[in-house]
A and B are shown apart, each in its own frame.
Chain A
Amino acid sequence: MVSDPRQTRRLDHRRGVTLVEIMALLIVVAVAVPPIAALSASSSRALVEERRSFHTAWLATAVLEQIIADASSGEEPMSLDAMGDQAYLDDGATGLRARLASITDSYENDGMTYEVTFGLVRDAEGNAIDADDRAATRVVTVEILYTNELGRAVRAPFTTVVGAP
């Protein structure tokens, strides 16, 4: 069988891929894949952080709204004055933490806790006063604490002013 000299010539002129070229390609792929994978991991962390942000806001909302309801309830153990006592927060059955447990437990299981601090009692004109029945307002700060995806401790403060009824 006689080969067509023109075809042979055409083949002779076609150039293949060398092993070096393939190795270069593999190196390029090897370099590109880890950043893509890292980007995906980062995006995943961002989603978790986004979820944390929402949960932080809802947990702080729950605590602050409960304090607002307490302050305006007219119930003596929950007055602006009483909020200065540790018992307001920690009393076994009726303290704020106990009353909020049904809401906060799921957040705490997720590694989120909260702290509450109260400012001075002020009268209607904004003057700091000894706690008494002239008490009109009090600044409340709720801080949500958790460890983020990078392992850093986060304190997210939320502050508002609550008023007496």
Chain B
Amino acid sequence: MRRRAFTLVEMTATMLVLGLAASFVGPLMVELSRGSAFQNEARRELWETNHALERIAELVRTAPEGVDQSSGLTEISATHFERHDGRGVRFENGSVYLFDDDGESLLAENFAQDFELRVLGRDGVTEVAETPEDAWRAELGVDIGMGMVRTAVSLARPAPEEAESLLVAAYAFGQNAWTRPVPGDPSQDYTKVVQYGANFTYDSGRGYGYTDTSGLDDSPNNRGKYNGDDEIYDQFIGCKYAVGNTIVFRADVPNGEYRFVLAGGDPSYAHTTRITVRDGSLEASEQVLVGNIAHQVGEFFRVGFPGHSAPGWDGEGRSPTFFPQIDSPTLTVTQGYIELHQIDAGTNGGCVCVFEIWQGGDEESPFIDFTGYSLVSFGGSQDGASQRETTAEVLDGGSTLRLYGNPWKAIEFPYTVTANTVIEFEYASSIEGEIQGIQTATDLQISSQRALSVWGTQAWARIRPNAIDEYDGSGDFQQYSIKLRDVNASYPLGEIVYLVFLNDDDAGAYSESIFRNVRVYEDE
């Protein structure tokens, strides 16, 4: 059959149909193409925004090497920040500049439409643009065409590591030999001190045990209330019968600085407890671990210090209830042993379940709290000589001692002076006397060999100006940190009994000396 060509009518109809179809499909295809291009562009902007924010956040977040609790930031504004090592971010004319270890780099030119930076302090509310070292968190935002994307970063750094402490001894107390590992050093078990057992009474060969059991609750305590690891709180050794009844546990330790972990309570009865520790048997050195705490059935007090706590409850069965942990004081031991005084402060009390002795690594010696000492007249007739006034005031909650007139005052401060011993204090005065300074002493006699004068018109005991800067008389506090053997190569070493504060002014007796933040420590 022979085919024929389109007629004019057919051709016209075909053109109309095709035209109609093209009018729909053509724009659709154009739009699809445009949409695809837009999506590609949007996706690129999205990824760039993400990448930019990641890089900026990382720069903001990462503190320079060597900074501890400070942020390391030196400059902050809404458009830039800079750290002291030169790293930072700046937004300028639509461009974000990054400053890294390699110097300046441009994230992208004409890149960002907007940029936000807000740096806040620890409280999360206060802006710290004026004090960048206080920066603790930052809020960031960047707009690269997809709208502002915001986030926050923490600038927090880990707290400085605590000086490493060494577990010297760990004791648990009770009716039988059950024990468990020490949480702070799981390689060791608590040495269980068993009431009336072989290690109950002090023995110098063993190096620990009770030296005074006059106030002892003579019925060994094992309550049968707790199981598993909580057994450690089911047993204890304590006092009974009368307020003030005391038992004393002794542990021989090397001289040094110590902190303690301690816990006690009774699963069956209410108690009131006081616990103290002493450098040897020196009453003046006594530090309170637990001060007259009333604890009900199943309530336990705990003493510890950062990173070191008594065992927690095991989470199974009946469990002890703990009071908030009491921060352990530091005890300076010079007598070669520690006494733990367990005191009944009610009708029952002084019960102790665990007692750990930790030697503090390089922890700083605490400042002297003058409220814990009696001020003793020193130097015989020197204190108040010529009937001069001898005012001595303890101020600022115990951190400060003010002398006025002509006083020589001592505190009982047993200590072994070594070639490394440092006496540190802040000193202020507005009126010069004759001899103003500090002295160590083995008795109540004055000694120019032991005195350290920082101001005054008389040359007696004046080691300055060679080694000690003379006080400037401004009335402002000036800090002194005096290593005794550095200022006097023949400074007497060995045990001392007193630390003396002097403001000698026989002639006028109207001068003053103010000593603040006094401490004695070993500079190893």
Residues of chain A at the chain B interface (Cβ within 8 Å): 11-17, 19, 22-23, 26, 29, 33, 36-37, 40, 43-44, 47, 50-51, 54-55, 58-59, 61-63, 65-66, 68-70, 72-75, 78, 93-94, 99-100, 102-103, 106-107, 123-125, 127-130, 132-134, 165
Nearest neighbor of A98 in chain B, beta-carbon distance: B125
**B262-276 near A? 1/0 per residue, CB < 8 Å:** 000000000000000
Residues of chain B at the chain A interface (Cβ within 8 Å): 2-6, 10, 13-14, 17-18, 21, 25, 28, 32, 35-36, 39, 42-43, 46, 49-50, 53, 57, 118, 122-125, 136-137, 139, 141, 146-159, 183, 304, 307, 309, 312-315, 321-322, 324-325
Nearest neighbor of B304 in chain A, beta-carbon distance: A134
Q: Is A100 a contact partner of B35 (Cβ separation < 8 A)?
A: no
A70 to B152, alpha carbons, bound, how many Å? 12
Q: Is B14 a contact partner of A19 (Cβ separation < 8 A)?
A: yes
Q: Which of A29, A44, A165 contacts B35 (CB 8 A)?
A: A44
Q: Given that A66-B137, A72-B158, A94-B123 are known contacts, is A12 also in contact with B2, CB under 8 Å in the complex?
A: yes
Q: Is A102 a contact partner of B139 (Cβ separation < 8 A)?
A: yes
Q: Given that A22-B14, A40-B35 are known contacts, is A78 also in contact with B124, CB under 8 Å in the complex?
A: yes
Task: Give the interface SS of chain B, mostly helix, strand, loop or mixed.
Answer: mixed
Q: Is A58 a contact partner of B32 (Cβ separation < 8 A)?
A: no
Q: Is B32 a contact partner of A40 (Cβ separation < 8 A)?
A: yes
Q: Is B124 a contact partner of A94 (Cβ separation < 8 A)?
A: yes
A59 to B125, alpha carbons, bound, how many Å? 19
Q: Is B39 a contact partner of A43 (Cβ separation < 8 A)?
A: yes
Q: Is A65 a contact partner of B149 (Cβ separation < 8 A)?
A: no
A95 to B5, alpha carbons, bound, how many Å? 84
Nearest CB on A from B263, distance (A)? 11
Q: Is B2 a contact partner of A66 (Cβ separation < 8 A)?
A: no
Q: Is A11 a contact partner of B5 (Cβ separation < 8 A)?
A: yes
A100 to B124, alpha carbons, bound, how many Å? 9
Residues of the B chain whose Cβ atoms lie less than 8 Å from the Cβ of A55: 149
Nearest CB on B from A68, distance (A)? 4
Residues of the A chain whose Cβ atoms lie less than 8 Å from the Cβ of B50: 54, 58
Q: Is A58 a contact partner of B53 (Cβ separation < 8 A)?
A: yes
A13 to B5, alpha carbons, bound, how many Å? 9
Nearest CB on A from B188, distance (A)? 15
Q: Is A19 a contact partner of B148 (Cβ separation < 8 A)?
A: no
Nearest CB on B from A25, distance (A)? 8
Q: Given that A40-B32, A54-B50, A73-B122 are known contacts, is A22 also in contact with B18, CB under 8 Å in the complex?
A: yes
Nearest CB on A from B323, distance (A)? 8
Q: Is B325 a contact partner of A133 (Cβ separation < 8 A)?
A: yes
Nearest CB on A from B113, distance (A)? 15
Could you write out 13 A-B pairs with CB less than 8 Å apart? A14-B3, A16-B4, A29-B25, A44-B39, A47-B46, A51-B42, A69-B156, A73-B122, A102-B150, A123-B312, A124-B307, A132-B324, A165-B156
